[in-house]
Amino acid sequence: MVINIQPDEIGSIIRKQIEGYVPRMRVVNVGTVLQVGDGIARIHGLDEVMAGELVEFEDGTVGIASNLESDNVGAVSTGDGRTIQEGGSVRATGKIAQIPVSESFLGRVVNALAQPIDGKGQIPASEFRSIESPAPGIISRRSVYEPLQTGLIAIDSMIPIGRGQRELIIGDRQTGKTAVATDTILNQKGQKVICVYVAIGQKASSVAQVVDTFRERGALEYTIVVSETANSPATLQYLAPYTGAALAEYFMYRQEHTLIVYDDLSKQAQAYRQMSLLLRRPPGREAYPGDVFHLHSRLLERAAKLSSQLGEGSMTALPIVETQAGDVSAYIPTNVISITDGQTFLSADLFNAGIRPAINVGISVSRVGSAAQIKAMKQVAGKLKLELAQFAELEAFAQFASDLDKTTQNQLARGQRLRELLKQSQSTPLSVEEQVATIYTGVNGYLDISNVEQVKRFLAQLREYVVTSKPNFGEIIRSTKVSTEQAEVLLKEAIKEATELFLLQDR
């Protein structure tokens, strides 16, 4: 069968195609690698690249444009950069660094690019957030007024943390900074608080230990772990806290409460210094670049208590900073202290003396104060602060005095028992009603009859007795947030009965 096609028909078809043709232009911004080394690439030809834009190298490695100079662009690689070659092409993507976000991230361990590293497969996500987002403005915020219970008596009674606050945890290495932060995460079980733990430059074994603790205690189901270990590229260690903040913000703007721990910002600053020096930026104090303050301020300002119009979601930040030999006047510690709403100082001397958590109550402070405490806690905490302050003064004086009057001896004995009361084992956070019962027992002299060595054991038994025999006490504190007369009567009965039982056991 032969089909005869007329030339006129072919001409009309071609004419229609030409008339209906819409020109499509695709402009691709491409440059060439001039020099590469130590994870830094100098690129020529990327004329219209944005600061912080993602660029893609020929081998598929992704970089971030950091230095925009007149004749070249300095980009930092998010990989090890070993397969990037001089003379290779680089393509600008037109995107600022962003990560996928969704509820599916809960219970997962991810890296600074929000890619899973726990071997449990891909994480489904339909939304994206920029790693660097602007912090909520003044109108978008409201004052901190709700408590965020850490489960640690020393903090919740004297250095209270509120939802939306930024409380710095500062101290020398090996003083229990991570333990304080992880205990706070464990205590959020059942409190409807989503937690994000960001590990920056930590040993992989330490991160694995923290994840195991969360899994064993059922905390992983409401926690996201963002980890960039010590062998990760400096770029990823620098990005990890921003990734954690973006994940926490996703939940905050959905009217939920979040808690984020940055462990620790000293290592992020060191990674940023390494990056900046390799990019040949001018060094400042302690060889840190001039914008190291902005590095932390733009991160920590994202923590906020949102206004009623925005749904009252909150993001509470617990940044950790490591000091050298207790020097809080070093560059990074002073920077972060000036940005945060208070600091919890952990002392190596107290830690070595067996006082754990090793919180130095004298120089620790919360700038939110009692606004972040329930009334029941305020009723007992004021007296505890006063007693401990007087004890610290007397203890220093008593070292030089040979004979002390009876009142002074009693005050010293009370102070020793109160200090014992603040000691807590790791991973044993206490509920607010247990804390109120514990502090009430100490400040009202009910511990004075027992030896200092017995205080911890007696209090553990008392708390157990209150929970099992006087459940109404806990219900009153939880529902009314006030230590009512009825609650006080129940507590006094519990203390009396528990003391009798304790004395019977010791006979």
The binding site for ATP consists of 171-178
Residues 6+ apart with CB under 8 A from 299: 241, 242, 245, 262
Instruction: Answer whether 128's CB lies under 8 Å from 95's CB.
Output: no
- Stated length of the chain: 507
Is 367 among the catalytic positions? yes
Residue 201 in contact with residue 267, Cβ under 8 Å?
yes
Catalytic residue among 367, 414, 419, 457: 367
Which residues sit in the known binding site? 171-178
Range 443-465 burial, b when 16+ CB lie within 10 A, else e: beebbeebeeeebeebbeebbeb
409 contact partners, CB below 8 Å, separation of at least 6: none
Give the type of residue at 456: K
Q: Which residues contact 451 (CB under 8 A, 6 or more apart)?
A: none
Determine how β-strand 109-110 pairs with β-strand 223-228: parallel
Omega within 30 of 0 (cis) for the link into 327: no
C-alpha span between 160 and 372 (Å, rounded): 6
Q: Rounded CA gap, 99 and 112, in Å? A: 9
Q: Which residues are catalytic?
A: 367
